[in-house]
Each structure stands twice: as C-alpha cells, then as structure tokens.
Amino acid sequence: MNNYILSKAMRFAAQRFRHNRGESTRVRQLTYSHHKAAIKTPSPDSTCFAIRTIRVSKPRNKPMFLFFFLFVFVLSNLSPSSSQNIFNFSSSDSPWRPNQSKFLLSPNSTFAAGFRLVPNSRNLYTFSIWYNISVNTIVWSANEKSPVSNGGSLSISSAGQLRLNDSSGENLWPSQDIATGNSSSTVLSLQDDGNLVYGRWESFRRPTDTILPTQKINGTVLVSKNGKFRFGNSTELFSVPSGSTYWNSDNVLQELDNTGKLTKANTGTVLSSDFGDATFRRLTLDDDGNLRIYSFDPRDSKWIIVWQALQELCSIPGLCGENSICTDDGFNSTSCVCPPGFKNNNSQDTACQRKIEITNTGKTKFLQLDYVKFSGGSNLTDLKAENFSICRAKCFANPKCVAFGFKYDGKRYCVLQDELKFGYWSPGTEMVTFLRVDNLETDQSNFTGMTNLLETICPVRISLPLPPEDSNTTTRNIAIICTLFAAELISGALFFRAFLKKYIKYRDMARTLGLELLPVGGPKRFTYAELRAATNGFSNLIGRGGFGEVYKGELPDHRVVAVKCLKNVAGGDTEFWPEVTIIARMHHLNLVRLWGFCAEKGVRILVYEYVPNGSLDKYLFRVGRVGSSGPGMELDPDREDSGGDGMPVLDWDIRYRIALGVARAIAYLHEECLEWVLHCDIKPENILLGDDFCPKISDFGLAKLRKKEDMVSMSRIRGTRGYMAPEWLKSDPISPKADVYSFGMVLLEIVSGSRNHDPRGSVLNSEEWYFPKWAFDKVFKEMKVEDILDGQIKNSYDSRAHFDMVNRMVQTAMWCLQDRPEMRPSMGKVAKMLEGTVEITEPKKPTIFFLGEE
C-alpha cells in the first residue's frame, strides 16, 4: 500500500512540474530506494523511502512551492515498515497468507509467530514460533515436514476450526480435532512463555524438537529436525533408524525453569553451568542426537551450550555411515574417518568401502584398532573366550566375521562382528577391535594406544679384572682376604644400621602426616587422637557386630560420622590400605559412604557417614512384638507407631523401594565395580535407612579384612545362620550366588515382617520347619498370600493395588532361595525382576539339602 501511494504521489508531482515550464524550479534527482533494516522487530524485510538530492532555485510561484513541500511532508509520514505486528489472530483477520509479513507477538514481545521461509527455499513456508531476540531460533513449527507455498494460508473457518491450508486446501494443522472453538470469540494468541493457544489447543502439549522454560516435559515426545532421533518417555534418547536406546535418565525429566534447573522426578535435579543467571533458555534435541540446554548470551548475541546429555558425541549411533569410525574433538563436533584398508564411497557420503575385497577368507589378516568399538550389527554376542588366541581363531573360522572385539581385562570379553556399523573411537571403551582385511592390504593401523608392548634393549658391556699373579706367600694372601672380608662386613653392618634408623624415622614421619602408600584421591587418614576426640572418648556406642563396635561422633567440620573399630583384622598396613582405598571408591546411592580410616599402633578404624534411622531389623522385628500369624495378633494399621516404640510402620511402597535399592546396590558390588566384591553377610542388621528411608548397605568389602579362621567362625557361629546359602555348610565354592540367597531371605522377611526362624504358628518342629518352603506352600499351593504378610500392615493390603508388587517380591525371593547356586539369578537380573522389566516364571519350591525335596 505504501509503495502504491508513493508512486501515485510521484507521478502527480511530475505532471505538475511539466505544466509549469515557466518556473525555474527544477528537481534534479528524485529517487526511491529499498533497504533492509536490522531493527528489533520480528519482520525479516522492511521498506523505507528516501529523497536523496533535491535542488530548488528561488521560487517564483509560491502556491507551487507550498504544494511541493506538502508532497515531501506526505512522503515523510508514510509508514517506514510494511510488516504488521498483532497480538491475537481472529476469524476477522483470516486468511493469513505467507507473503503478508504479518507477525503474532507475545505480550512481552519475547516470542513471535508467523510464516517463515524454509532454509534454501524461496517460496516454501512453515508456520513457526521463535525467540524474538534471534530470528534464526525456531522453537516450534506446525508443518515442518509439509511446508506450504504462497498459495497457502492460516484461517479460522466458520465452524471455528483453526486451519493451515496448503494450495490444495488440505488442513496441515496438528491435532485438528482439538483446534476448534467459537469462530466469533476464540482467537489464536501467543503467551509470554511462548505457548501458542487456540481454545483447548496448546503448542506446549505438542512440541517438535524444543522445550521452553516452564513447559511440562511429562509424556511429551521430541523429534530432531532431521527425524533421526527421538526423546521419549521423558527419560530416554533413541535412534529412529536402528531403534536402539543410547541414553537413559535415572529419573523422569519434568520441567526446565528460567534459572537453568532441570527438575526430575523424586526431587532430582540437573543444574546448568550458568545456573542462577536470568536469561533466555531452551532444551533442544539437536540433529546430532544430543539433548542440550542452551542459554542466550546477550553480549555476543548467540546461544551457548550450558548442559548436554552425552559428553561423548560419537557414542550416538548413526552419526557416521557403514564401515566408518566416528571421532570426537571434544568441542561438540565430530568427524568420520575410514579405517585402514577402506576408502570413502564419495564426497557426500560418510560410509566407507573396502579397497581390496575379501575373496578368500583363508588368506586374510587382522589389523589392530585400539579403543575402537562397533556397536551395531546382528552378531554381538559375548563369547567369553578364554584368551585372545581363541577369540581370534573363532573369528578366523567364521566366513561372515569381518572383525572381532577383545578386552585385555581378564574377563574373557570377545565379540564377533558381521557388520561394521556405529563405529567410534574412545578410550572409555577399553576395547580393541581387530579388523579383517586381505593379505595383500598394505595399509597400517593408525589407531594405536597403550596395548602395544614396548620393547627396550639396553646393551651393557661388562669387563672383569684380570686375576692377580700367583704368590708364594699363602699366609699373606689369606690375611689380605680376611681383612677385606671383615672390612666389608663391618661397613655393611654400619650402612644397614644407618639405613634402618633413617627408614624408621621417615616411616614414623609418613605415618604422622598420613602420606605413606596413600594414592591420590583416596580416603582421608585420621589419627587415633582425632577420632577419640570426635567420639568423646568412644563413649556413644550405637552398634555392635561381628566386625567390631560402632560409635557415633562429630568431626571438627560438624559432620556426624559412624566410627567402626575393627577387630581381628588380617595382614599389615600394606594389605589394609589398598583394601580400604577400594572400599572408599565404591560410590552408590544405596551404599554407606566411607569417608576415612585410622591405622596406627595396631588399631584399625573405619569412618563412615552416619545414617540416622538405624537398621532395617528395628522396623521389621519390633521388640516384644507378638507373631502376627495367630488370631488377634494383627496390629492396627491406622496407628503410626504400631509397636509402641516410637518408630513408624513401613508401608508397602517403602518396603518395595527398600528391596529394590538393596538389590541394585548388591548388583553394583557384583557386576559394576572394577573389582567385584562379595558381601558374605547380607541381613536386615546390615541394611541402614536414611532420612527418607533410602536403604544403604553397610559392612561391604570387609570380608577380605577378616582372618580366614574368623570368616569360618563368623559364617557358622554368628547369629546370621538363617541367611547363609547351603554351599557354606556343604563346603562348596563360594560365588556371588551366596549373596543372592541371603538377599532372597531378607526379601521374604520384608514381606512377612518376621524372622526366618519364626515358625509362624506351624505345627512342625523348629528343626523341620523351613521358612521359604512354608511361604511357597501358602502362596502357590493354598493361594493365601495374606497369610505371609506382615501383621503390622496386613489390614492395609489391597489386592488390587498391592498384589502385583507383593507377588513380584515373593516370586523373586523364591528364585533367589533355590538350593543350587546355578538355579539362582544374578543380582542384576534380580533387580530387573523387582522393577518388572523382565518376565518372572513360576519358581520351583525352594528346599534345603538336609530337608530334601517333595
């Protein structure tokens, strides 16, 4: 419209000047120009006008002179921009076409919405929302996969339906059934938080690849712009082409706020690197498959990464093509390289192909690629080869094997590859891939690490003196030899004495300063005097067990600690300190944390974190409690303290959380530690409860510190005989399955609330009664699961709400209590059984060897 008015005014002015030839006024140059202005409006194109050079001589005709300046005044008051900013879109504004330069603003002008040109296109548009501070930052699009041309439009129909029509009239608006309203009153508006709203329809409920602050994440799905990656279930990232999950959050992500805090379920949080700064933020699933939090830097006017889900980008599957290896430079960029013996297909593809095809598998060799792993392919089974030669032979004998992976960690890891997919280089893989190539291949491996042996040969020339000439004076020779021998003996004795004095001096100094044989980053070493002062002379005794007595104390930094004074510890300092260091490096939510130790003058003390709620047995087996199996013995579930001892009763949800936490902790000790650990004494007394009843296992790793005779005594005489696996009494080899048996007994006690040696009203003698067998008969034969439940909360048991959870716990316990170790599942599988992620088949009745089987 402005261009039209301007052209009409210029044409009219030119005609008036031609009719006035007698006038000396002349216009030398009247120009009309367009330029793009970088202003803080959402309009990508603005038009303005300028009169460049106007020279006017002395006016002779005053009316004509006034007319000319009126013309200039009209030009100067024309609108400088052809864009239109609106704050809501109604049916009266329909249709909204892509070439109208119309933009919908939020009330605070932080966000804008409208038609945006698709990159590298001149006439295809998407209807999008973006941050008004940067027009390139699109946070939502309605039709990203189906852009419209100039013939498309956004409109509100007479029936109140919001429609995004393409040139053929097809409605492309997402969730068309919800995007309805009253055509006369419902409007499309953009809120201050970036949420586009029309009636009951909201863009926050249908995100594309970005989550904005205050937007709820629960239940939403993010898809990267290239469509290759998804973020689903609010917890996991997975590749769409392969369907494989490559990242999992420990808890469900819920919401991102303006300070940079990403809230998780169960009060968990993720904090960005600039947490606390008030700035614009967004959570985006990028095209490389990584989930990142971006923060806008107003000084450099750009978005910066303040958090990302994966630090190693190459662990994301699909970044490189087949037969290619992904490498990460550490600066959020990757590159794809071909392994030796391969070359690029073409300049546009990241896949690689062999230089020399393998025609005869018998004439092949292997090239060593250190720290390279291929995670894709149909054959990725761990063969558990005894050694490297066996693993290599299995691949060589398999004509489909193109490579094999091997780890030099003694765990017999061997994987055969029939395809080279999702390859990446990272020292964190701890793996070496041996690539199969033809014997004629001349390429050498450039992926080398610390697995190559270094051979050093240092030639040393040794020359012996010539023997002295024979002497006839035998006595003199003997005297000389004896004198030299005596001198050497005395010198050696004096030297050894001096060395011993200095060694004792420096040893005492090192013990005093706590520097002897302590690795960097190990636990803190306390002196005996420090711990004596912290525990007020070891006066506050809070526990006593097979490993020693436990005292409560407070360190100078006001940390409350539990100080365990060990007894009957085997070995000296050189054996004690490494074991303590290993225990201190075990970090898990459900393990009691070791903070330090003391080792001086024959004293061995461990300093743990203090767990305030005590051990699990105090809540399950209350003092003076009568068995709940008989009539009239059930406790009132409405009372917070059913036992009268001031402690709350654990409900079914808390008991399930305790069982699952203990299972995960034992699985961590068995399967995830660098050096796997057997607990050997799992029982309710060694399960401590935190403020929120989070379980923490204590006394782990201490079995190695005990003398062998004390271990035998502990397992047979201590009050934990009910938790020992049958192999302890049959002198069979002890494996992690012994801990699985003990956990199964504890799990059954959590459900029943009674000791495993309590007959629960059975008519059998205590010598013939076996707790797991009795529970099996009640649940799987008599179908009376209520008979084994804890009387403290038996009345609160709801078969509809609690049956699945209790049934999983009982079935898992039965599998753990099988008398043969090979029948019991691993602790990793036990945790999955409790989580419900694996199917649990009906177990066999547990028996013990001296009772026999029915």
pLDDT at 18 over 50: no
pLDDT at 61 over 60: no
Helix (H) or strand (E) holding 372: strand 372-376
Lowest mean pLDDT among 631-635, 650-654, 684-688: 631-635
pLDDT at 301 over 50: yes
Under the phi-then-psi rule, with left for phi > 0, alpha for psi from -120 to 50, and beta for the rest, what region is 292?
beta
688: β partners: 615, 696
Token duo for residue 316: 């994301």
Taking only the tens place, the pLDDT of each residue in 191-246 is 999 999 998 889 998 899 999 999 998 878 999 988 889 998 888 998 887 778 88
Three-state secondary-structure class, residue 597: strand
Three-state secondary-structure class, residue 346: coil
- If we measure between CA atoms, which residue out of 351, 357, 314 comes closest to residue 332? 314
Taking only the tens place, the pLDDT of each residue in 243-259 is 788 888 888 898 999 89
Top mean-pLDDT range of 353-357, 463-467, 474-478: 353-357
Residue 435 — φ and ψ, nearest 5°? -90, 130
The CA-based angle 127-128-131, given to 5 degrees, is: 155
Contacts of 248-254 spanning 24+ positions with Cβ under 8 A: 249/309, 252/217, 252/218, 253/217, 254/216, 254/217, 254/218
Token duo for residue 420: 């080279």
335: DSSP letter: E
Token duo for residue 196: 């586009």
Residue 840 — φ and ψ, nearest 5°? -105, 120
Whole-number Å distance between alpha carbons of 695 and 698: 10
Higher pLDDT: 19 or 186? It is: 186
Higher pLDDT: 584 or 702? It is: 584
Angstrom CA distances, 613 to 551, 616, 664, 755, 790, stand at 15, 9, 20, 20, 20
- Alpha carbons within 13 angstroms on the beta-carbon side of residue 765 total 3
Q: At what angle do helices 652-667 and 799-816 cross, to 10 degrees?
A: 30
Count the neighbouring beta carbons within 10 Å of the beta carbon of residue 665. Answer: 26
- If we measure between CA atoms, which residue out of 239, 255, 256 comes closest to residue 247? 239
Taking only the tens place, the pLDDT of each residue in 752-781 is 988 888 776 555 555 667 888 888 888 888
Helix (H) or strand (E) holding 75: helix 62-76
Please give the average per-residue pLDDT across 369-395, as a whole number. 83
DSSP string, 792-832: TSGGG--HHHHHHHHHHHHHHHHHHT-SSGGGSPPHHHHHH
Burial grade of 689 (CB within 10 A; 0-12, 13-18, 19 or more): buried
Whole-number Å distance between alpha carbons of 120 and 347: 21
What are the b/e assignments for 148-168, b being 16+ CB within 10 Å?
beeebbbbbeeebbbbbbbee
Specify whether the CB–CB gap between 312 and 412 falls below 8 A: no
Taking only the tens place, the pLDDT of each residue in 814-834 is 999 998 999 999 999 999 999
423: β partners: 325, 374
pLDDT at 368 over 70: yes
Higher pLDDT: 74 or 328? It is: 328
The reported pLDDT for the residue numbered 43 is: 42
The reported pLDDT for the residue numbered 408 is: 83
Taking only the tens place, the pLDDT of each residue in 688-714 is 999 889 999 988 877 665 544 444 434
Token duo for residue 82: 């052809």
Continuous H helices in 215-365 = none
The reported pLDDT for the residue numbered 411 is: 83
Amino acid at 197: V
pLDDT at 468 over 80: no
Reported as a pLDDT band with limits 50, 70 and 90, residue 295 is: very high
- Alpha carbons within 13 angstroms on the beta-carbon side of residue 136 total 5
Please give the average per-residue pLDDT across 129-156, as a whole number. 86
Specify whether the CB–CB gap between 149 and 172 falls below 8 A: no
pLDDT at 687 over 70: yes
Higher pLDDT: 415 or 703? It is: 415
Whole-number Å distance between alpha carbons of 751 and 816: 15
Please give the average per-residue pLDDT across 140-150, as a whole number. 89
Higher pLDDT: 719 or 220? It is: 220
Q: Looking at 328, 681, 739, 819, which residue is catalytic?
A: 681
Whole-number Å distance between alpha carbons of 631 and 638: 18
Taking only the tens place, the pLDDT of each residue in 591-650 is 999 999 888 877 889 999 999 998 998 998 876 554 433 332 333 334 344 455 567 888
Tokens 């249908």 sit on residue: 206
% of the chain surpassing 70 pLDDT: 77
Specify whether the CB–CB gap between 670 and 830 falls below 8 A: no
Q: Give the pTM.
A: 0.45
The reported pLDDT for the residue numbered 822 is: 92
Three-state secondary-structure class, residue 206: coil
Whole-number Å distance between alpha carbons of 161 and 175: 11
**Can you point out the beta strands (E) in 97-252?**
102-105, 111-117, 125-131, 138-141, 153-156, 162-165, 188-190, 196-198, 201-202, 210-211, 222-223, 229-232, 236-239, 245-248
The reported pLDDT for the residue numbered 80 is: 38
% of the chain surpassing 90 pLDDT: 27
Token duo for residue 284: 């985006």
Reported as a pLDDT band with limits 50, 70 and 90, residue 51 is: very low
Please give the average per-residue pLDDT across 138-149, as a whole number. 89
Length in residues, the chain: 854
Residue 53 neighbours by CB under 8 Å, 6+ apart: 28, 29, 31
681 is catalytic: yes
Please give the average per-residue pLDDT across 94-122, as a whole number. 89
The reported pLDDT for the residue numbered 134 is: 65
Angstrom CA distances, 813 to 661, 818, 829, 831, 845, stand at 15, 9, 12, 11, 11
